[in-house]
């Protein structure tokens, strides 16, 4: 059973996504989430290590909630060969604990990536937390995409859908 969280087939599908970059700590990386007229969203920008920077991200509130029977997120993506992180947050605050799962987005073809809830790592400001509550899908209030890990330069990740899997 798959339940769609977000489909990116209309311009309105990206309206609530906003960028959060390393400017919060003096960096100059930049990103955006934009609609492509071919019917998908594009997370793009450039990562720079200048001024102690090194990450770019976008985030959106979740519009529908999941049940506790969810075991994974399914992302339909077309990438550029770089590594990305899918991030979820259980609070509505700007700052706080996030849970991240890393994936590689092959360039060229659309790919469906399965990210099991058990693979999400709790983090705070990029640091892994040893003690954090287990991720419960029913408590997720925000989702996001992140590129970091010293992957300097332009990036582009196309996204058709984010779904939940039982």
In the chain, what percentage of residues exceed pLDDT 90? Answer: 62
Least confident of 33-37, 131-135, 162-166: 131-135
Element (DSSP H or E) covering residue 82: none
pLDDT greater than 60 at residue 140: yes
**Strand 72-78 relative to strand 153-165, pairing:** antiparallel
pLDDT tens, position by position, 29-47? 999 999 999 999 999 999 9
pLDDT greater than 80 at residue 83: yes
Provide the whole-model pTM.
0.91
pLDDT score of 46 = 96
DSSP readout, 9-65? -SGGGGTT-EEEEGGGGT---EEEEEEETTTEEEEEEEE--GGG---EEEEEE-SSP
> Sign of the C-alpha dihedral, residues 78, 8, 121, 21?
positive
Determine contact, residues 105/31, Cβ cutoff 8 Å: no
Domains in the chain: ranges and CATH: 2-165 (2.60.120.430)
Tracing tokens 């989702």 back to the chain, one arrives at 143
Residue 52 sits at φ, ψ, to 5 deg, of: 65, 25
pLDDT greater than 80 at residue 112: yes
Q: Rounded distance, CA 51 to CA 33, Å? A: 24
pLDDT greater than 50 at residue 157: yes
Q: Rounded distance, CA 46 to CA 29, Å? A: 6
Query: Which one, of 41, 21, 42, lies nearest residue 30 by Cα?
Result: 21
How many other CB atoms are there within 10 angstroms of residue 110's CB atom? 13
Q: What is the mean pLDDT of the chain?
A: 89
Query: What letters, b where the CB count within 10 A reaches 16 and e where it falls short, cover 133-156?
Result: eebebeebebbbbbbbeebeeebe
- Dig out the tokens for 119 from the structure: 């693979």
pLDDT greater than 50 at residue 1: no
How many other CB atoms are there within 10 angstroms of residue 111's CB atom? 15
């Amino acid at each position: 059973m798959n339940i769609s969280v977000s489909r990116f087939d209309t311009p309105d599908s990206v309206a609530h996504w906003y960028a959060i970059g390393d400017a919060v700590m003096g960096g100059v990386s930049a990103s955006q989430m934009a609609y492509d007229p071919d019917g998908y969203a594009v997370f793009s920008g450039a990562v720079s290590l200048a001024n102690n920077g090194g990450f770019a991200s976008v985030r959106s509130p979740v519009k529908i909630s999941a049940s506790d029977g969810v075991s994974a997120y399914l992302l339909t993506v077309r990438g550029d060969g770089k590594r990305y992180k899918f991030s979820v947050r259980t609070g509505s605050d700007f700052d706080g604990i996030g849970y991240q799962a890393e994936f590689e987005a092959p360039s060229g073809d659309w790919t469906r990536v399965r990210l099991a809830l058990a693979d999400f790592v709790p983090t705070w400001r990029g640091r892994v937390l040893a003690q954090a509550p287990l991720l419960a899908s029913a408590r997720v209030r925000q989702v996001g995409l992140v590129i970091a890990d010293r992957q300097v330069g332009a990036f582009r990740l196309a996204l058709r859908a984010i779904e939940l899997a039982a």
